[in-house]
Amino acid sequence: MIKSTAPEIKPRLFKVEELRADFPVLFQTAYNKPLVYLDNAATSQKPQIVIDALSDYYSTCNANIHRGVHFLSQKASQAFDDVRTKVKDYIGAGSEREIIFVRGTTEAINLVASSWGRKNLSAGDVVLVTTMEHHSNIVPWQLICAEKGAEVIPVPMDDRGVLDMQAFETLLTDKVKFVSVVHTSNSLGTINPVDVIVQKAHEKNIPVLVDAAQAVAHEVIDVQALNCDFLAFSGHKMFGPTGVGVLYGKEKLLEAMPPYQGGGEMIAQVSFAGTTFNELPYKFEAGTPNIADVIGLGAAIDYMNGVDRAAAADWELSLMRSTAEQLSTIPGIRLIGTAPHKAAVVSFVVDGVNALDLGMYLDTLGIAVRTGHHCTQPVMDRLGIPGTIRASFMFYNTQQEVDALVVGVRKGINLLRA
């Protein structure tokens, strides 16, 4: 049954094995070896409660929402609307009107670039990003800037992957009309001082979008405390289903923005003489929404609310530190992304060993890591490397998995250097 209120989950002490048991996918073998999943920055695994929510929705509740007068439609509408409230509370937004359901972070940024950008950017304007953006926070801005004759300028970083805040202030000229920055770098793990960025930009009345795709599963974000104008994140990186994400936007800004896509749900009145648009948040949600996955996202939020987040974050950082320390002792390994303030991501390169080759070797041992540029080619260009091997952690990972990775890396290097 889909419940209209969150199931009661008592906060509990952090115990990795107990939490791990909530994630059925982790209990399997790959090529007859225990699966070691260290690709959490790409997507998180899903707890049983999320899987059940999806199945329950289709088993007991499936109907199109908001337009039906019948029992099922009202039940589905209620479950869907409840998630908007959960998301609002989860990120500390002021109102449900500020929560737009989208496909993911990428669509959220495209929405803002397309809608806000088309209305507000003109020739000579600048959109400020950083060198360490995911391509999803570069290309949407390049597209709209090319159309408008505006320019996308990146704030540089140093060799450790720390943002150059002095350069940020210098680059924050009168030409800058928008700042779009990544909260936590997916390839380096760097956590950027987004609060300072927001504050400095606001001193010049420049709105700021924060790409929180890599942050939401690992730390609590309060949009009112942060005071960002937009926040974008994906459900699948925070234990929810793929294909659903959230754009938070300040109501005043969203009100002033034109619709992004046209269709059902987003209209008030349609005639060939002209169409008026629905109010927020529906103005930006054309077509039947991804009802099931939104409900799955709601279950993911319930799940996270039941986890001791601070203890989970500490555990992830301890895994990250252990990995970094052990890998550092292996000759020829260079850690990439060594910012003092960083998330549970370890990226590295090995002298004389191709990253793809080592990643494939680890795969033969059942260890899932990611290799390549991680959709951050400007980062790799800046550091003069083609790509890295990246292990990224979630609180359900264990010290044994870290140790298996380190052993695998050692063996792989011996094999590949032979």
Partner 1 sequence: MSNIAAIEHEIVEDFDLFDDWTEKYQYIIELGQQLKPLEAQYKTDDRKITGCQSSVWLHAYTKDGLVFFESDSDSTFVKGEIALLIKVLSGQAPEEIIKAELNFIDAIGLRQHMAVTRANGLASMIKQMKLYAVGFQSHTA
> Between β-strands 245-249 and 267-271, what pairing exists: parallel, antiparallel or unpaired?
unpaired
x-marked contacts with partner 1 along 371-400 as a string, rule CB under 8 A: -x-------------x--------------
Nearer to partner 1, 268 or 360 (CB): 360
Residues 101-130 close enough to bind partner 1 by CB under 8 A: none
> Is 61 assigned a catalytic role?
no
Any residues with CB less than 8 A from the CB of 415 and at least 6 apart, and which?
361
Nearer to partner 1, 164 or 357 (CB): 357
Nearest in space to 385 (alpha carbons), one of 346, 342, 335, 317: 335
Q: Rule CB under 8 A: say whether 365 interacts with partner 1.
A: yes
Contact 112, 249 (CB under 8 A): yes
Nearer to partner 1, 6 or 404 (CB): 404
Dmax over Cα atoms in the chain, in whole Å? 74
Contact 332, 350 (CB under 8 A): yes
Nearer to partner 1, 33 or 119 (CB): 33
For the beta sheet containing 151-155, the strands, ordered from the edge strand earlier in sequence to the opposite edge, are: 99-102, 245-249, 230-234, 208-211, 176-182, 126-130, 151-155
Q: Rule CB under 8 A: say whether 32 interacts with partner 1.
A: yes
Among 29, 31, 276, 329, binds partner 1 (CB under 8 A): 31
Nearer to partner 1, 156 or 372 (CB): 372
Minimum distance, C-beta of residue 133 to partner 1, in the bound complex (Å): 22
Residues 325-364 close enough to bind partner 1 by CB under 8 A: 354, 356-357, 360-361, 363-364
List, in sequence order, every residue forming a beta bridge with 130; answer none if it has no partner.
Answer: 155
Q: How many residues bind partner 1 (CB under 8 A)?
A: 15
Nearest in space to 284 (alpha carbons), one of 244, 326, 247: 247
Q: Which two tokens stand for residue 278?
A: 């629905």
Q: Rule CB under 8 A: say whether 415 interacts with partner 1.
A: yes
Minimum distance, C-beta of residue 323 to partner 1, in the bound complex (Å): 22
C-alpha 313, offset from chain centre: 16
Minimum distance, C-beta of residue 388 to partner 1, in the bound complex (Å): 14
Among 1, 13, 123, 418, binds partner 1 (CB under 8 A): 418
Burial class (CB in 10 A: 0-12, 13-18, 19+), 39: middle
Contact 277, 268 (CB under 8 A): yes
Catalytically annotated residue among 61, 145, 228, 375: 375
C-alpha 89, offset from chain centre: 18
Residues that bind partner 1 (CB under 8 A): 31-32, 354, 356-357, 360-361, 363-365, 372, 386, 415-416, 418
Q: Which residues are catalytic?
A: 375
